[in-house]
Amino acid sequence: MFDVSAILINYNSSKYTINCIKSILEQTVSDIKLQIIIVDNASETEDLNALKKGLQLIDNPNLELVESKVNTGFGGGNMLGVESAKADYLVFINNDTLLINDCISILKAFMEKAPNAGVCGPQAFTENGVLLPTIDHFSSLAKTILKRRAFEFINPKKYPDRKKLYQTPIKGQFVAGSFMFFRSEDFNAIGGFDLNIFLYHEETDLCKRLLTQGKYAYLVPNAKFTHFHGGSTERSIAIKKELKISLLYVVRKHDGFLKYVVLLVYLQITYFFKSIFKPTYWPIFNTLIKGAPLSDSLKQQQISSN
């Protein structure tokens, strides 16, 4: 049995993964019993071989590689890792990150003293030391139309400034998916990641379900890490389309059909005009016209190609 199971996903980005693992091992104190599970999400053979070679060179008995024959996405890949987890705590860490200090021990100590915390995360910074927002407000119809700043101006207590450097732990609606620390029992109680979501907006879904258990999300700012923002994901039109599919799915799941329809129409109008001036957006508009069905998700493309 371990204290913490750290789960990372590799997808054609083995250099990031190996460097991330090294930073975890270097920064985490030795009295933490740490299990590290790497899920390879159907990378190209060359990258998978490079990953295996890198893991052999690290030579740590508590490293475990899980190979998936299909790219199951962020939530699906993490759930594959959970199947091998044997710890009281779970931490999901993006592979394009480096720990600045002993994040895992700091977050574990916080969770031990905060029974109402369902998930927590450290403060993120860019590779140049610039603060990255780590807490955020739930994905919603109102947030999409009014934008974050309106929420923060109207009710700063409920919607704290995401771009402020805090000195003490602060409650937000969710913490960034790049580094999420849970008690295993809390994570399992809500059923883990929703496998209908391939990429994006998982944080809103998880944290809304945690709220039903009376559990909240916290930023713990004295834990710090570097995030090479988007280092493992290219921002293609397909990814932007996936963002809209996931957003609409999460809004419909948690906020109801009416808000889903209003948001869908708003996005349809928005992307119709965007596509006129930028034709590369037409695939996004076409998906929105169909109602942004899960059948248009990258997940279905991964399954059908295997």
Please tell me whether residues 145 and 123 are part of one structural domain: yes
Q: How many CB atoms lie within 10 A of CB 157?
A: 6
Q: Which two tokens stand for residue 14?
A: 């083995």
Strand 131-132 with 117-125, pairing? antiparallel
Q: Lowest mean pLDDT of 20-24, 41-45, 232-236, name the range.
A: 232-236
Domain identity same for 156 and 250: no
| Strand partners of residue 35 | 5
- Reported pTM: 0.93
Residue 273 included in any domain: yes
Q: For the chain, what percent of residues have pLDDT higher than 90? A: 87
237-255 and 282-289 helices, crossing angle to 10°: 30
pLDDT band for position 236 (50/70/90)?
Answer: confident
Asked if residues 122 and 134 have their Cβ atoms less than 8 Å apart, the reply is yes
Q: How many residues can be counted in the chain?
A: 306
- Domain-embedded: residue 232: no
Domain boundary among 167, 198, 227: 227
Please give the DSSP secondary-structure letter assigned to residue 69. S
Average pLDDT of the segment spanning 268-289? 96
pLDDT, tens digit, 9 for 90 and up, residues 171-195: 999 999 999 999 999 999 999 999 9
Tell me the one-letter amino acid at 179.
F
pLDDT at position 230, please? 59
Task: Give yes or no for a contact between 104 and 32, defined as CB atoms under 8 angstroms apart.
Answer: yes
Q: Do 153 and 112 sit in the same domain of this protein?
A: yes
- Residue 73, CA distances (Å) to 19, 50, 167, 229, 300 in order: 21, 21, 34, 17, 11
Q: According to the model, what pLDDT value does residue 152 have? A: 87
Whether residues 202 and 251 share a domain: the answer is no
The residue from 177, 193, 227 where one domain ends is: 227
- Structural domain containing residue 214: 2-227
Separation between Cα atoms, residue 95 and residue 9, nearest integer Å? 6
**Are 38 and 64 contacting, i.e. CB atoms less than 8 angstroms apart?**
yes
Indicate if 245 and 125 belong to the same structural domain: no
Instruction: Note whether residue 219 is domain-resident.
Output: yes
Residues 99 and 192 in one domain: yes
Do residues 53 and 191 both lie within one domain?
yes
Q: Are residues 10 and 134 in the same domain?
A: yes
The reply to whether 14 and 148 lie within a common domain is: yes
pLDDT digits (tens, 9 = 90+) for 65-93: 999 999 999 999 999 999 999 999 999 99
The answer to whether 287 and 275 have CB atoms below 8 angstroms apart is: no
Which CA distances in Å does 96 have to 117, 126, 182, 299? 26, 11, 20, 21
Give dist(CA 95, CA 126) in Å, integer.
14
Q: Is the pLDDT of residue 115 over 80?
A: yes
Q: Are residues 16 and 56 in the same domain?
A: yes
Q: Residue 3's closest CA among 145, 104, 151?
A: 104
Flag whether pLDDT at 234 surpasses 60: no
E strands, the chain, are 2-10, 34-41, 63-68, 87-93, 97-99, 117-125, 131-132, 135-136, 170-172, 174-175, 179-183, 216-227
Inter-residue contact 218 to 170 (CB < 8 Å) = yes
CATH of the domain at 65: 3.90.550.10
Are 29 and 109 spatial neighbours (Cβ–Cβ below 8 Å)? no
- Tell me which of 199, 227, 255 is where a domain ends: 227
**Do 275 and 267 contact (CB within 8 A), yes or no?**
no
How many separate domains does the chain show? Answer: 2
Are residues 157 and 272 both part of a single domain?
no
Mean residue pLDDT across the chain = 94
